[in-house]
A and B are shown apart, each in its own frame.
Chain A
Amino acid sequence: MTSTGNDIVALTAINVARTKQPNFHSRIISSIESDLYYSDLEEQLAFEHFVWLAWSVKESAYKYLKRFDTGLVFSPSKMRIVGLKRVAEYLHGAVQCGDQMLYFQSVVNNKFIFSIVNDKADFSETYWNIKQIDFNGPATQSGAVREFLLEKLAELFPATDLQIAKSAYGWPIIANEEGELPTPVSFTHHDNFVAYSFQLTDSLWKAHQHPAEVF
């Protein structure tokens, strides 16, 4: 079984002063993670951006792991960023979640922080994209991100009529007329940004191309 998880934080919507307050950021990053920031990252990132990067990574990890443990509760204080380095335009690193290590790739710019996670430090099979929208109400965000994903799926699978539905546990699924396809998908939105990620391995790609062999 494979999974995916992503999260976006709109930097226009965060409260910088509050983020810098210890009673706030200590709920997202530990003192060990704070030490990591001051020893390795202070030159690269503003502190408030590091806090929200950690949030974005941990929320992504939670979404990833929730598919395996439907009773999982999001608890950022129980996850730990254990490494972080810049690779081209991305920040790459790892996050420890209990006894499981997940890997992340993040984009940080002056508008947003966006993260995706995987169980290996390879994102070549993770499709993702981010879009800025004009209106930021929940219904608009939800509709926009679904439409955004469907555009991408129509590009990848032009001969297939795919739809977005919701699993019994609340996460989005990709389905055709025969049911759910084995391609995990994750949505995120915050303020005027929406984004998706989905995992399309070789075998899943073939499943999409030849769905009759799967069902």
Chain B
Amino acid sequence: MTREEILNELKGVVAPYTANKEALNNLNDQTDLITDLKINSANLVDIIIDAEAKYEIEIDYDSADKMLNVGSCIDVISEKLNQKQ
């Protein structure tokens, strides 16, 4: 999958946890999950679990710790997808 394809799918993963639809529509690598999308930190684990289910990957704790903005989420998902192949 390309980064752009993951970015578009990531919108669906984070959408249930953000009320900031404008930031969601303008999602880019620099979008911060907490400060830009206003996602409560208590939902960060939900996003990791949802991403694992969607892509059928396992995200280890160290990788999960890095998933603070959209770019790092795409990096981690992309890396785990490549490891599957």
The A interface is mostly helix, strand or loop, or mixed, namely mixed
Closest to A51 in B: B45
Interface size on B, residues (CB 8 A): 18
A32-59 CB contacts (< 8 Å) to partner B: 52, 55, 59
Would you list which residues of chain B between 44 and 63 have a CB under 8 Å from chain A? 45-46, 48-49, 52, 61-62
Contact with B along A58-76 (1 / 0, CB 8 A): 0100000000000001110
Cβ-defined partner of B41 (8 Å) among A23, A59, A138: A59
Q: Does B28 reach chain A (CB closer than 8 Å)?
A: no
Q: Which residues of B contact A18 (CB under 8 A)?
A: 46, 49
Are B46 and A75 in contact, with the CB atoms below 8 A?
no
Q: Which of A13, A24, A138 contacts B20 (CB 8 A)?
A: A138
Q: Which of A59, A75, A170 touches B65 (beta carbons < 8 Å)?
A: A75
Total number of A residues with any Cβ neighbor in B under 8 Å = 23
- Chain A: which residue is nearest B68 at the CB level? A73
Interface status of B3 (Cβ within 8 A of chain A):
no
User: For window 1-29 of chain A, which residues contact chain B by CB distance below 8 Å?
Assistant: 9, 13-15, 18, 21, 23-24, 27-28
